[in-house]
Amino acid sequence: MQAQTPFKLEEIIANFNLPGEYIGYKLSNDGHINNTYIINFKEGSGKTKSYLLQLINTNVFKNPDELMENIVGVTTYLRKIVIDNGGDPERESLNVYFTKDNQPYYKDADGNCWRIYNFITNAHSCQTIDDPKTFANAAKAFGKFQCLLADYPSETLHETIPNFHNTVSRFADFEKAVENDIAGRAAGVTQEIDFVLSRKDDTGILVNMLKDGKLPLRVTHNDTKLNNVMLDNETDEGICVIDLDTVMPGLSLYDFGDSIRFGANTAAEDEKDLSKVSLSLPLYREYVAGYLETAGASLTETEVEYLPFSAKLMTLECGMRFLGDYLNGDTYFRVAYSDHNLDRCRTQFKLVEDIERKMDEMQQITQEIYSQIKK
């Protein structure tokens, strides 16, 4: 007899066309936004087939219809490409299972929204980079994701989180946080505030280039952390990019820059000892090589030119969001102690400074690899 589930499982299963007999579930909650479960079914052949059941966080994603319209559109498009290329769509793309009344999610009597994906077998995700090749493999996966979606009509996608990487808007939010000083903390962080204010011009560069037609609007993932790539258990190669809730129209540079911010930092995101914080040029090289190997043909020369700058900009954006939340009284990011967001912002700002020092080297690495790929 199955243990009682924390959700109405029988009701949910009854509303989806899932073949076989339900035999159990387990929690799979690597993400911070949605609750995810692996549900297992015994098929007629005796084999076990697993699916991912996920409770959509409608506090963050307030319009599940638009959210799922984005995901269904992108996954259907990718699935067709995988099939056309002779790949395995059950492992190389996320697939949305529809309800019996042909909806991409089921809404229960309590207003909870449930969706079901395929479970990617013989694969894993990583939280940290123990081997530089893992970072390169993630880069190839995100680069391939970008390349395969190069011709997707990005203008048809909804903004699931408006102005998510609009750095001009983010800067305006930061200025408002400084002005309001809700938590009464501004006087103690004037150095950090000045750090952001002195880089105001940086926040408008990519936004203005998009506005002027110098950068193309693309389909972007917007959460390109290492753990959003499924890696093959045997080869460690990237199989599938997951967690598509933040897929929106945007700049390829947002995805690249955030990957470097997260993955090429030599320290933890909330490291207090700032002497440990720096940009790893070897890891930067690994990521650039992997990313351009798969995405390079779909990118413009201007996009490639601004890859190093995007790492600085996304790090600055993250830092000012941490600092803004600190000034607002820690209302957005989850904190473990009173100065957690302050420590986080200081780490990001230290990384920004190191990127600024290494910008010429980053440019050289990028152009060197790009030149090799173009040959």
Instruction: Say if residues 97 and 248 touch (Cβ distance below 8 Å).
Output: no
User: What is the per-residue pLDDT for 212?
Assistant: 98
Fold for domain 9-120?
Answer: Phosphorylase Kinase; domain 1 (3.30.200)
Q: Give the tokens for residue 112.
A: 């909870």
Contacts of 137 (CB under 8 A, 6+ apart): 229, 231, 236, 237, 238, 290
- What number of CA atoms fall less than 13 Å from residue 132's CA on the CB side? 14
3-state secondary structure of 55: strand
The per-residue DSSP string of 69-103 comes to: HHHHHHHHHHHHHHHHTT--HHHHS--EEPBTTS-
Sign of CA dihedral 237, 243, 246, 247: positive
Where are the chain's structural domains?
A: 9-120, 132-374
How far is the C-alpha of 323 from the C-alpha of 341, rounded, in Å?
6
User: What is the per-residue pLDDT for 10?
Assistant: 83
Q: Give the tokens for residue 153.
A: 């009509």
User: What is the per-residue pLDDT for 130?
Assistant: 83
What one-character DSSP code corresponds to residue 298? G
The fourth-level CATH superfamily of domain 132-374 is: Aminoglycoside phosphotransferase (APH), C-terminal lobe (3.90.1200.10)
User: What is the per-residue pLDDT for 2?
Assistant: 46
User: What is the per-residue pLDDT for 300?
Assistant: 97
3-state secondary structure of 106: strand
User: What is the per-residue pLDDT for 60?
Assistant: 84
Q: Residue 142: name the closest of 224, 222, 30, 237 by CA.
A: 224
Q: Which residues of the chain have pLDDT under 70?
A: 1-7, 29-34
User: What is the per-residue pLDDT for 6?
Assistant: 62
- Angle between helix axes 167-180 and 307-327 (nearest 10 degrees) is 30
3-state secondary structure of 302: helix
Model's pTM, two decimal places?
0.92
User: What is the per-residue pLDDT for 31?
Assistant: 44
3-state secondary structure of 312: helix
